[in-house]
Amino acid sequence: MATVKKRAWTTGKGDRKEAWRVRYVDQHGVTRTRQFDLKRDADAFRITAEGEVVSGVHTADRASVTVSEAASIWIAAREADGCDRGTLKTYSEVVNRHIIPLIGTEKLSRLTGPKVVDFRDALLATRSYVMASKALRHLSMILIDAQSRGLVAQNVAHSVKVKRPTDQKGRLAKRAEIPPAVDLKALIKAADALKDKDPRLPVMLRIAMLAGLRASEIRGLSWAGVDLARQHITVSQKADRWNEIHLPKSAAGHRSIPIGPALTTAMKAWKLQCPPSALGLVFPNRPKGRQTEASKGSTSGGPIKQHTMAKLLLTVQTSAGIAKDTGRKTGEGEPIWALRYDWHHLRHVAASNWLNDGIDLKRLQTWIGHENIQLTIDVYGHLMADPKKDAVLAAAAEAALLG
């Protein structure tokens, strides 16, 4: 049974002080105390502590760890679970740059929903929406892990969300941007024209646009995952930023995707040209024939480097005349170009085409490799709007009911 009593004392300077002390026994039989300036705060804590003790989940203030310490425990556990190096690096960067500086010293036992709201607001004031959302998700994952270890009674970040920004018309921002058809055709034409310099390019672009693979999945794709007879590509591995082959980040990343006859034909032709690779990669880092500048210094047969993938796409966009002019020039006075579309834009093309062909959302989620259907709706839901079809459906419903 917890008690709340008023405590009064005089400081060494002669100042009169008052506080409210909560005394209780935790689930381990240890007597604990905690002091508050206001009685209402003490009463609120007493009620909460009593409920947590009965449930066996109470963590005393003295025994509690800080957010920073809980984050270290979480990252170490993910590493022990075999989490790939790239994901661990991202976790550490988010924690060290965006969580610890703002809330790292806070003890979990004193962390409340309002404090997490303040944390979210501080993120939004100093970081982008994307980074604020990511940091808040990571804090929630840290608290879930801490809760499972008995370090905190509840995940107070669970109900705190970052509202997605909207444009001036009230539409959600950060939706998938689909390059216009004229640019896509220009990219394909340019890649085909460059095939003598790098025969991988036409097939790589087609796989991104028609099968929706991520850049890391293209880099890690093996011939063992390509069934040209059944016209399927199975994604079972990826190449990380250090060129190491790993399993997909989530179970949803492991998937089988149907491909059409045109892509099948292109892949059959490329398979005859593809140089041997110890890893059996579809796109090893050194194309057959003359070594390119991009592949110099690489070990033959390994995955294409991450930055090389970007350079290859920039080469195609520059040749197609759709790269962005940065306004800067080289020492020789040549313009410096930048990507207008990255590999993820081309992946969105596949999703857009599938939706145009009438694919259902669940199948789209599976083929595109999303972990949950809400993400698929958030990214591609706006592409399903079809006012003409809606009008036809409404008319059909009226006819069925009214005759």
Question: Within a domain: residue 308?
Answer: yes
337 and 188 together in one domain: yes
- Give the structural domain span for 17: 3-55
Question: Within a domain: residue 363?
Answer: no
pLDDT at residue number 293? 44
196 and 234 together in one domain: yes
Tens-place pLDDT, residues 363-388: 999 999 998 898 888 888 888 776 66
191 and 143 together in one domain: no
Tens-place pLDDT, residues 153-163: 889 999 999 88
Q: The tokens 């009008």 sit on which residue?
A: 391
Residue 226, token pair as written in the block:
């390509």
pLDDT at residue number 168? 47
CATH number at residue 239: 1.10.443.10
Question: Within a domain: residue 381?
Answer: no
The list of the chain residues with pLDDT below 50 reads 168-172, 288-299
DSSP letters spanning 8-60:
EEE-TTS-EEEEEEEEEE-TTS-EEEEEESSHHHHHHHHHHHHHHHHHT----
137 and 247 together in one domain: no
**Cα-trace Rg, the chain:** 28
What is the SS3 assignment for 163? coil
pLDDT at residue number 294? 44
pLDDT at residue number 170? 46
Question: Within a domain: residue 30?
Answer: yes
274 and 345 together in one domain: yes
237 and 289 together in one domain: yes
Count of the separate structural domains present in the chain: 3
Tens-place pLDDT, residues 11-67: 888 889 999 998 988 877 888 888 889 999 888 888 888 888 887 777 777 768 999
22 and 141 together in one domain: no
> CA dist 383 to 44, 177, 260, 303, 354, Å?
49, 10, 22, 34, 11
pLDDT at residue number 167? 52
> CA dist 19 to 4, 9, 44, 211, Å?
10, 9, 15, 66
Q: Which one of 305, 333, 349 terminates a domain?
A: 349
* Long-range pairs for 20-26: beta carbons < 8 A, 24 or more residues apart: 22/46, 22/49, 24/49, 24/50, 24/53, 25/53, 26/53, 26/58, 26/60
Question: Within a domain: residue 154?
Answer: no
**Residue 138's closest CA among 156, 122, 157, 124?**
157
Q: What predicted TM-score, i.e. pTM, was given to this entire model?
A: 0.70
200 and 263 together in one domain: yes
39 and 113 together in one domain: no
Q: Count the Cβ atoms, other than its own, within 10 Å of residue 297.
A: 8
pLDDT at residue number 163? 83
